[in-house]
Chains A and B, each alone.
Chain A
């Protein structure tokens, strides 16, 4: 008997909202990627808890994939950020508006 599943959902929801907030508000490319990590993490928590709730290991398996995708995303994302920083000397997303 740990806690109701809904509480886990709410905790994950708060985490997700924090991640979204971070990705949206902070004017820094690295913080945007960090926010995305937080959101992925929140999703992982829900998956694991749901796996327990439903007594099905598929949820845990997906967390494994989420880890791999997060690692992928971070490696490529950070490489892009470094490349962009070399070009402009800035992390500010307002400077990357060539598509405007």
Chain B
């Protein structure tokens, strides 16, 4: 086993362990932080697989932007622990069953498909090479993606301002109380926040 191989298994173990811990945390803050570790590991895997630009983007966008957005939301909305079971059995048992089934099938497929056992060679796509490739063959997709990002930004802005008092928009008036889980305190606090 080469050094790269050792790195791979090590990092993989870290990623899986961090993800598993994140999934099982009751505190959302902890979960997000553990997930950041997982994404750092993923970035290292990307680097290992010869994609330095993507590794940088993974750190910047995933670990940086997205996870920080999650952190903001989690910290902005202080949700009290519900006190329920973390894994309600009605969802837990079927989920475990099907995840294991899925894993079994995937493992069997990965092992049995010929040509997949060849070890990966170390090879690096430099950012220049990658950028040239992307903009040569996928320039249209880049444009579509940028349009998608713009639309998402506008949508998020719209959703974020909807329903707040003092914002003139053609949203309906404060929506009526839904039949379940209504919490008047949250609404009042939601208004006073602004």
Contacts and interface: CB of A to CB of B under 8 A. Distances in A.
Do A and B belong to a common assembly? yes
Interface of A: 1-11, 13-15, 17-22, 24-28, 30-31, 33-35, 37-38, 41, 44-45, 48-49, 51-53, 55, 57-58, 60-61, 63-65, 67-76, 78-83, 85-92, 94-95, 97-98
Nearest to B157: A79
A88 B35 contact: no
Interface string B44-70: 011011110110011001100110011
A18 B73 CA distance: 23
B99 A68 contact: no
A71 B66 contact: yes
B110 A6 contact: yes
B99 A97 contact: no
Contact of A60 (B7, B51, B87, B120): B51
Contact of A61 (B84, B138, B187): B138
A30 B96 contact: no
Given A34-B35, A52-B50, A61-B134, A4 B120 contact: yes
Nearest to B160: A79
Instruction: Among A5, A53, A87, A92, find the residue whose CB has the most chain B CB atoms closer than 10 A.
Output: A87
B48 to A, nearest CB: 6
Which 10 residue pairs across A and B have the least CB separation, nearest first? A89-B186, A89-B183, A95-B181, A79-B159, A72-B152, A79-B156, A6-B110, A13-B106, A22-B23, A6-B116
Given A67-B58, A76-B159, A88-B186, 5 more contacts: A1-B119, A48-B49, A63-B46, A71-B65, A82-B77
A40 B68 CA distance: 17
B187 to A, nearest CB: 7
A74 B66 contact: yes
B28 A30 contact: yes
B49 to A, nearest CB: 5
Contacts of B8: 2-3, 7-8
Interface in B80-100: 82, 84, 86-88, 91-92, 95-96, 99-100
